[in-house]
Amino acid sequence: MARGFAIDLGTANTLVWEQGRGIVLNEPTVIAVNQRSGDVLAMGREAYAMIGRTPGHIVAERPLRGGAVTDFEATAKLISLVLKKVGGGRLSRKPRVLVCVPTATTNVERRAVEEATEQAGASEAHLMEEPMAAAIGAGLPVQEPLGTMIIDVGGGTSEVAVIALGGIVASKGIKIGGFDLDASIQRHVRDKYAVAIGDRTAEEVKIAIGSASPQREALEAEVRGRELSTGLPKEVIVGAAEIREAIEDEVSAIVETVLDALGECPPELTEDVIDKGMWLVGGGSLLQGLDSRIERESHVTVNHVELPLESVATGAGTVIETYDDLSQFFDG
């Protein structure tokens, strides 16, 4: 029997669950491409380390934006490299592959993911919605007649879904995630200090002092970049309060999406959500104060899952392990 793989093909990171082994890969969704030859030189952490540090003809890029395939060929190459890496040359037969996608993904985007997966060498390509996978991975009662609300804040998208009886009853999603917060931090440092900083530096600032709600401790961070007027290196000190203000529009949009999803939830299921609370997953859920901000504005308890970065891959892996029993959770 061909082995099965479940892939959480995220805008920020790609995680792979191999049937019988668990999570075998967790690396950035980045590839480095030689534009002269079209060859892929590196993927994952190795390619991520090249961002902003390569010659003109070598480009380190993210083939997915907002959870959607923006570069079909690059995505197919990425999936092919992922399967070869986790297969370790042991793939005697083409594997069955389950790929997780955002709920709001269009039919065209879904087909692009399926085709990219098949072109990468899969015998079967199936799709599964990320909130459902996250709920299964968190061990929540998705098949029971109870309302379960998942808030999945990723690198390129934020999704809120209410699940009951094995299906998504109501959902809301926006193409705003961790990368958008990074971009706002870059704009803020450029506009206020006339200093240009890279994507990685902005992400480091977000992790160090970024927050969605005021924190008890007034944190600061040293930021190094290039002064726009001179082109020379410059270091500035930024504070947590100004970073919080810089990302406020994106944070407000995420919170508003949660409130909209609650508003569309059937009354009976709303009672379940109020009783049990909401569940926060995804890399973006690690932003300091995001849970308390959502609680304050929704008046509903927010729970954290044990492994927020791995819940989608774990849920999809659970499905691939019990393929025949849980096949209702994915497309086709």
- The whole-number pLDDT of residue 97 equals 92
Q: Which fold has domain 178-247?
A: Actin; Chain A, domain 4 (3.90.640)
H-type alpha helices, the chain? 44-48, 72-87, 107-119, 130-137, 178-193, 199-209, 240-246, 248-264, 267-276, 290-298, 311-321
- The domain defined by 144-176+249-304 carries CATH number 3.30.420.40: yes
Q: What percent of the chain has pLDDT over 90?
A: 55
Common-topology check for domains 4-132+311-327 and 144-176+249-304: yes
- The whole-number pLDDT of residue 327 equals 59
Rounded to a whole number of angstroms, the distance between the first and last alpha carbons of the chain is 20
pTM of the model: 0.87
What is the mean pLDDT of each successive set of 10 residues along the chain, which is 332 residues long? 82 91 91 82 84 77 69 77 75 81 82 86 89 93 92 92 91 92 97 94 95 89 96 96 97 96 91 94 93 96 92 93 66 53
- The whole-number pLDDT of residue 177 equals 92
- The whole-number pLDDT of residue 2 equals 60
- The whole-number pLDDT of residue 68 equals 62
Spell out the domain ranges in the chain.
4-132+311-327, 144-176+249-304, 178-247
Q: Phi and psi for 140 in degrees, rounded to 5?
A: -85, 155
Closest CA to 247 of 297, 210, 285: 210
- Burial degree of 115 (CB within 10 A; 0-12, 13-18, 19+): middle
- The domain defined by 4-132+311-327 carries CATH number 3.20.20.70: no
